[in-house]
Amino acid sequence: MSPYPRSRARPAEAVRKSAASCIGSRGVMTTDYVIGVDAGGTKTVAWLAGTAQVLDDAPVASASSGPGNVRSVGFETAVRNIHSAILGISAEVSIPIRTLCICAAGAGRRIDQTRLQEWGESLAVAENVLIRPDVEAVLASASPDQTGVALISGTGSLAWGRNADGQTRRAGGWGYLMGDEGSAYDIARRALQCASQMADGRREKTPLLPVLLDALKLQHASELVPVIYGASQPKHEIAQLAVHVFACAVKGDTVSEAIIADAANSLSAMVAAVTRKLHLPTDCPLAIAGSVLIHQHMYRQRVMNSLHRSDESATLVEQPVRGAVRVAQMATS
User: Which pLDDT belongs to residue 221?
Assistant: 94
d(CA 115, CA 113): 5
User: Which pLDDT belongs to residue 91?
Assistant: 64
Share of the chain above pLDDT 90, in %: 59
| Residue 177 clears pLDDT 90, i.e. is over it | no
Least confident of 131-135, 202-206, 286-290, 300-304: 131-135
User: Which pLDDT belongs to residue 94?
Assistant: 64
Amino acid at residue number 4? Y
| Residue 37 clears pLDDT 50, i.e. is over it | yes
Rounded average pLDDT over 82-97 = 79
d(CA 95, CA 125): 10
User: Which pLDDT belongs to residue 93?
Assistant: 52
| Residue 325 clears pLDDT 80, i.e. is over it | yes
User: Which pLDDT belongs to residue 267?
Assistant: 97
Domains contained in the chain, CATH given = 8-142+319-332 (3.30.420.40), 184-284 (3.30.420.40)
| Residue 136 clears pLDDT 70, i.e. is over it | yes
**pTM score:** 0.82
Least confident of 90-94, 142-146, 199-203: 90-94
Q: What are 151-166's pLDDT values in tens digits?
A: 999 888 999 999 999 9
User: Which pLDDT belongs to residue 8?
Assistant: 47
Answer yes or no: are the C-beta atoms of 102 and 134 closer than 8 Å. Answer: no
Rounded average pLDDT over 306-318 = 91
pLDDT band at residue 62 under the 50/70/90 scheme: confident
* DSSP per residue, 9-32: E--HHHHHHHHHTTB-TTS-B-S-
Least confident of 58-62, 224-228, 319-323: 58-62
d(CA 296, CA 293): 5
| Residue 281 clears pLDDT 90, i.e. is over it | yes
Q: Which of 289, 321, 320 is nearest to 48 (CA)?
A: 321
d(CA 263, CA 303): 9
Which has more confidence, 46 or 8? 46
Mean pLDDT for the chain overall: 86
Please list the residues that pair with 61 across neighbouring strands. 48
User: Which pLDDT belongs to residue 314?
Assistant: 93
Q: What are 207-256's pLDDT values in tens digits?
A: 999 999 999 999 999 999 999 999 888 888 999 999 999 999 999 999 99
Rounded average pLDDT over 7-25 = 43
User: Which pLDDT belongs to residue 10?
Assistant: 46
Answer yes or no: are the C-beta atoms of 12 and 290 closer than 8 Å. Answer: no
Element (H, E) at 50: strand 44-50
